[in-house]
Amino acid sequence: MILRTGLIAVSALGETSEPAQSMIHPAGPAAAEIARIWWVMLVAFTAVFALVLTLLIYAVLRRPPHKADAGRETNLPPWGRTWFIVAGGVVLPILVLTPLYIDSLSASGRLRTPKEGLTIRVVGHMWWWEVRYPDSGIITANEIHIPAGKAVRLELASADVIHSFWVPRLHGKRDMIPGRENVFWVQADEPGVYRGQCGEYCGTQHANMALEVIALAPEDYDAWLESQKSLRMAPTAPDTERGRQVFLTAGCKQCHAIAGTDAVGNAGPDLTNLGSRRMIGGALLPNTRGNLSGWIADPQGIKPGIKMPRTYLKAEDLQALVSYLESLK
Ligand code: CUA
């Protein structure tokens, strides 16, 4: 079915046949409202379009005026022409557009961002998303964990150019503008993974600037929050010491931070919980050992134009580094 040809989400929370990124498959109240308006407009304007086409076909096929009436453009009497123009050009547009206008206005009232509640800060970078939980000090990237069934406020900012935050199954788009903060919100009714995509052209890798919103049942969300807090206290597994040394000496820490080490770079994503992430590279690749190794060895080959350079490492050092990064969960 045409409506089903969106991206299919294959999630750790179980395979789902729902498209991961389709605004006509809403998964929360804001997106449902937008989808509803979309369907209302589609039906209304399809009806208008059909009416106009019918009149057009009638005009093309109608019999030409009688010879006696040559020079007249229509068979209608003069008062009939005026009536036709007033009805079709004034009355009909008012009848069609007024209810749609009122409907859209009342919908925008229902889409207003809540004043309080869980707030997450999302900063757009070329081409990834920084995600911060100000209440709990958690910093992550390219995935936003939220509790299902709750409205979550988002503070949206940009570190460089204009991006646009867009998770089609949860809400519409909201721009991320340098030097300015926009507030926005999302709500997912059910636990699941909802893919998002930068909605504003922001350079060569705009198309590969994606993210995932992972909605968890409230108790799972609380557990996730606790696991993240304790991870920020003690992120290192003891058997990965060699990889840790490689990380700290090979230049990684110039750009990346890992809590509990002296790596505090902020040009690239915070890696404190990298091992727990589903995807790497701005939701470009699944977070597997092979992908992670390939990414570190040659990020420019995978996502040309990003800031991360090649890392020249001996094979054993690369493997140790990947083991260390995978242990961060
Ligand atoms: Cu960021 Cu397009």
pLDDT by position in tens, the chain (length 329): 333 333 333 444 444 567 889 999 999 999 999 999 999 999 999 999 999 999 999 989 887 666 655 555 566 677 777 888 898 889 999 999 999 999 999 998 889 998 888 999 999 999 999 999 999 999 999 999 999 999 999 999 999 999 999 999 999 999 999 999 999 999 999 999 999 999 999 999 999 999 999 999 999 999 999 999 888 876 566 678 899 999 999 999 999 999 988 899 999 999 999 999 999 999 999 999 999 999 999 999 999 999 999 989 999 999 999 999 999 98
Q: Please give the single-letter amino acid code of residue 161.
A: V
**Which atom of ligand 1 lies closest to the CA of 162?**
1
Tokens of residue 45, six digits: 């304007």
Distance between CA atoms of residues 144 and 19, nearest Å = 18
CA distance 180 to 123: 11
| CB contact set of 29 (below 8 Å; sequence gap of 6+) | 110, 187, 189
| 165 Cα to the center of ligand 1, angstroms | 8
Cβ atoms of 170 and 184 within 8 Å: the answer is no
Phi first, then psi, for residue 173 (nearest 5°) are -95, 150
Within a 13 Å sphere around the CA of 213, how many CA atoms are in the beta-carbon half?
30
CA of 119 to the centre of ligand 1 (A): 22
Residue 66: what pLDDT? 64
**What distance in angstroms lies between residue 177's CA and the mean position of ligand 1's atoms?**
11
- Atom 1, ligand 1: which residue's CA is nearest? 163
Span from the CA of 178 to the centroid of ligand 1 (angstroms): 12
Calculate the CA 183 to chain-centre distance.
Answer: 15
Which amino acid makes up residue 83?
Answer: W
Q: Separation of 301 CA from ligand 1 center, angstroms?
A: 20
Using DSSP bridges, classify how beta strands 210-216 and 119-125 pair: parallel, antiparallel or unpaired. unpaired
The alpha carbons of the chain give a radius of gyration, in whole angstroms, of 27
CA of 163, closest atom in ligand 1: 1
CA distances from 116 to 31, 113, 138, 154, 264 (A): 20, 9, 19, 10, 31
User: Counting atoms of ligand 1 from 1, which one is nearest the CA of 161?
Assistant: 1
Provide the pairing of β-strand 119-125 with 152-158.
parallel
33, containing H or E segment: helix 29-61
Name the pTM for this structure. Answer: 0.85
| Strand order through the sheet with 192-197 | 143-147, 210-216, 192-197
Euclidean distance between CA atoms 162 and 158, whole angstroms: 7
User: What's the pLDDT at 116?
Assistant: 86
Closest ligand 1 atom to 201 CA:
2
* Model pLDDT, residue 14: 44
Strands (E), the chain: 8-11, 14-19, 119-125, 128-133, 138-141, 143-147, 152-158, 163-166, 173-176, 182-186, 192-197, 210-216, 279-280, 285-286
* pLDDT for res 11: 41
Residues framing ligand 1 (Cβ under 6 A): 124, 127, 163, 198, 200-202, 206, 209
d(CA 143, CA 159): 17
Query: Residue 71's pLDDT is what?
Result: 57
> Phi then psi for 18, rounded to 5 degrees?
-70, 140
Closest CA to 224 of 133, 104, 303, 130: 133
